[in-house]
A and B are shown apart, each in its own frame.
Chain A
Amino acid sequence: MAEEKSQASSSKMLTLKASDGVLFEVELNIAKEMKTVQAYIDDCEDIETIPIPNVLGKHLAIVIEYIKKTNEEYDAEFEKQWNMDDLQLLLLAANYLNISGLQECLCKAIAKRIENKSPEYVRKVFNIENDHSPEEEAKLRKEYKWAFEGVDKD
Chain B
Amino acid sequence: MVHHHHYHEYMQQKMRRNTSNQQQQNKRHKFFINDNIDILREILKRLDGPSLGVASCVCRLWCNLTNNDDSIWEHLCFRHVLTPPPATVRPVVVALGGYKRLYMVCVRPVLSRLSESERVMKRVWTRHEVQLSLSLFCIDSYERLAGGGGMIASDASPSSLMFLCNPINV
Contact = CB atoms under 8 A, between A and B. Distances in A.
Contacts of A5: none
Contacts of A144: 53-54, 56-57
Contact of B51 (A88, A114, A132): A114
Contacts of B49: 147
Contacts of B50: 116, 146-151
B47 interface: yes
Contacts of B7: none
B117 to A, nearest CB: 7
A98 to B, nearest CB: 12
Interface string A78-119: 000000010011011001000000010001101110111111
Contacts of B28: 19, 54
A116 B31 contact: no
B53 A147 contact: yes
A129 interface: yes
Interface residues of B, number: 35
Interface stretch (A25-33, A42-50, A66-74, A120-128): A120-128
A49 to B, nearest CB: 19
Given A19-B25, A88-B33, A128-B33, A115 B47 contact: yes
B51 A19 contact: no
A135 interface: no
Contacts of A150: 50, 117-119
Nearest to B41: A107
A92 B36 contact: yes
B29 interface: yes
Nearest to A55: B29
Interface string B5-33: 00000000000000000000100110111
Interface in B96-149: 108, 117-119
A76 B151 CA distance: 56
B63 interface: yes
A77 interface: no
Contact of A123 (B29, B53, B58): B58
B33 A118 contact: no
Given A56-B29, A116-B119, A150-B118, A140 B57 contact: yes
B59 interface: yes
Contacts of A115: 47-48, 51
A140 B42 contact: no
B52 interface: yes
28 contacts: A19-B25, A54-B28, A56-B25, A92-B39, A95-B39, A107-B39, A107-B42, A110-B43, A111-B47, A112-B46, A116-B50, A119-B55, A123-B59, A126-B34, A128-B58, A132-B57, A132-B59, A140-B56, A144-B56, A146-B50, A146-B108, A147-B51, A147-B52, A148-B53, A150-B117, A150-B118, A150-B119, A151-B54
Contacts of A141: 57
